[in-house]
Amino acid sequence: MESIDDIIERVKKDFNVTPKNPKSLDDMNREVYLGDPNCPICHGIGFVTGDYPIDDPRFGKMDVCSCRKAKLEEETRNQLIRESNLSGYADMSFETFNVEGRGQLRPDERLCLKLAFDHAQKFAKERNGWLLLTGNYGTGKTHLAAAISNAALADHIPNIFLPVPDLLDWIRASFSDSSGTYAERFDQIRNIPLLILDDLGTQSATPWAEEKLYQILNYRYVNRLPTVITTNCRLQDLDGRIASRLEDPSLVTRIVIQAPDYRKPMANTVESDDLSALHRLSNRTFENFDSRVGENLSEEASAQLTNAFNLAYNFAQHPTGWLVFSGPNGVGKTHLAAAIGNYRQHQMDHPLFVAVADLLDHLRATFSPVSTTSYDIAFEKIRNAPLLILDHLDTANATPWAKEKLFQILDHRYLTPLPTVITTVLPIQDIDPNIRSRLVDFQVCQIAQMFQVPMYSRNPQVSILPERTRKGYPSRRGK
């Protein structure tokens, strides 16, 4: 039987194969053989067959020889890199993402970055649904998106990673590209197992661009194909058809990254984001809450104070549903609310503690032309906070706009549902009817009434407030 080398030499002579630039026999063999010419298994063919019976489904099928697998894997990886456009983002991985920033992060910002990091890692493993990363410039959105793409690449999952303007240019180029048609390229983008679009909203807003983007995203939305999107824009500033799909919580996980620009460690792009006042109340804990045993409180006042403390402590242990502290100023409502926030922060949660008046001022400030935080991002951060603590809710003199914003926030958290703590000086019946309708759902909300508790005084001998009746109003003497 002729050897493979003899057959190759005979074929060369029969067809008069003479290279213009003579090469060594080893060089020519490397070109002819698919595998390693010295491989004792396939003898250079690159494929092997097993000895299976004729009725075995593997009978007659060829497998890649082990001498060729490494080369094929390298070729496959190089092809995936070329198709995914990741050559400039190879160093952006989860291992190189710095959740600590450059030393300029506050605890709440660090927790926010950690939350985004964890969601991105989870998506990279499961590749299920859509992930939307929003936030200001330099907050790590592109790095996390590229890390997801690189992780998919490591798993041999075909994917495309492109800034949206480049994607549209790539589609336009297909009209004059001899290597493939527009239809083929457009179909490749729509059906790629993982599509990652960076900087949505930075493209030229031409009718053609908007239509192509909508067609791509709508197709992937209908077919539930894994997609990652990053944007600096408010959803309301995007094409309404695309924005409506990005607001679908059944498919899209939206993460708002609130952190300073990593490239400018001394500049805080979230306007010092002192929205959360919890760091100023770090000394308000359950351990130092004054039970006022030495003040000789009435039996009813003591009972209300004890009940409020127990409800707060139990809520801090297991923050589900809503908890409302209703009572006059100076009875410990803010202390208990802050104690819940501080306890949860020590448990690595990310509570947002804010006075209602400050919250509304913060939202109004985003409309300023010099604001670096968009209203949409600020509003989403508030209404989706893992734990929202609203201090001093008072709708008695609130404007219609303020009532509407508060209701939108609370209604969202009621329907989601998300843990919420509220303090108010108003009796529940005096709160705005729309908000009150959510507070009186006792399957969701617990209410700690504190109207029988007198104002706290450092001198227990000084009576600051007149006696309070059950309804919280001064008693009428002389009758």
| pLDDT tens-digit series, residues 266-306 | 544 444 345 788 888 989 999 999 988 888 899 999 999 99
**Structure confidence by residue, pLDDT tens digits, 58-116:** 777 878 787 777 677 666 666 656 656 676 788 899 999 988 876 667 777 788 889 99
| DSSP H/E element including 316 | helix 299-317
Phi, psi at 351, each rounded to 5°? -75, 145
Strands 420-424 and 387-391: parallel
Average pLDDT estimate for 343-363 = 87
Structure confidence at residue 220 (pLDDT): 96
Question: Among 87-91, 130-134, 260-264, which range has the highest average pLDDT?
Answer: 130-134
**pTM for the model:** 0.49
Q: How far apart are CA 420 and CA 439, in angstroms?
A: 11
Helix-, strand-, coil-residue percentages of the chain, each rounded to 5: 45, 15, 45
* Structure token pair of residue 466: 């007149």
User: What gap in Å lies between CA 370 and CA 365, rounded to an integer?
Assistant: 9
Please return the burial class of 384, using the count of CB atoms within 10 Å of its CB with bins 0-12, 13-18 and 19+.
middle
Fill in the DSSP letter of residue 256. E
pLDDT tens per residue, range 418-446: 999 999 999 999 999 999 999 999 999 99
pLDDT band at 365 (very low <50, low <70, confident <90, very high): confident
**Residue of 233, 229, 267, 270 whose CA lies nearest to 112:** 270
